[in-house]
Amino acid sequence: MSLRDRQALCPAGQTSTQCSRLEEVTCKVYYRFEWNHERCGACPLRTRCVGRSQVHRTLLVGEYHEWLQARRRAMARPDFNMRRHPRNGIEESMSELNRGYGFGRSRYRGLAKTAADFSLLA
């Protein structure tokens, strides 16, 4: 799938015939890919792609679909967890400070008062 080229492939290898850019009121952007019913009608993989009440295949993906898939591939690599390992200790320490000592929120506004509040907690 390539949102840049506005094309997607179905499991049978057919290229989409239409791509629509949809923008919601909340500013979320989606792309709807469609394949015409002539291609889907005689396809041996039709039952995998198209529901009984559908005439043709449609696919709705978010604007960041390609980025998300690339990130998931990167997370599946073995070196990802090794690079992420130091973060686990930091997250644990921050969680302990927040839950045990109240470091999550300050009762005061301003940098000076907040720093004084946290120094009294420690």
Cα-flanking dihedrals φ and ψ of residue 77, to 5°? Answer: -75, 145
Q: For the chain (length 122 residues), average pLDDT per consecutive 10? A: 74 82 89 80 78 80 90 90 81 83 78 81 62
pLDDT at 72: 93
At residue 62's C-alpha, the angle toward residues 57 and 64, to 5°, is 135
Q: What is the pTM for the complete model shown?
A: 0.57
